[in-house]
Structure 1
Amino acid sequence: MLELNARSLRVQGERIVYLDQTLLPQQEAWFSCSTPELWQDAVRKLAIRGAPLIGLSAALVLAQYAQHHAPETWQAVSDRLRATRPTAVNLMYCLDAMEACFSAGPSRMIERAAELFMEDRALCQRMAERGADLLAEGDRILTHCNTGALATAGVGTAIGAFAVAQQRGRNITVYVDETRPLLQGGRLTAWEMADLGIRHQLVCDSMAASLMAAGKVDKVMVGADRICANGDFANKVGTYMLAVLAHHHGIPFYVVAPYTTVDPNTARGSDIPIEQRDPNEVRGVAGAFGAVQWAPADAPVWNPAFDVTPASLVSAWVLDTGVFDAAAIARGEHIVRP
Structure 2
Amino acid sequence: MESDRYFTKMSVSEFETYIKNLRVARTIITLQQHHTYNPNYALFTGNNHFELQKGMQNYHVNELGWMDIGQHFTIFPDGKILTGRNLEYSPACIYGQNQNAICIENLGNFDTGGDTMTALQKEAIIRVTAAICYKFSIPVNTDKIVYHHWFKLSNGVRNNGAGGNKSCPGTNFFGGNKVNDCEQNFIPLVQQALSGQTNTNSYTILKYVSVTASSLNVRIGPNTSNSKTSDREPATYGAILRVYAEQNGWLKISGSKDHWVYARYTDDVIRATVNADILNVRNLPSVNGLKIGSVLKDTEVFIYEERDNWCRISVEEKWVSKRYLTL
Q: By percentage of residues, which structure has more strand?
A: 2
The two structures have a TM-score, normalised by structure 2, of 0.29
Q: By percentage of residues, which structure has more helix?
A: 1
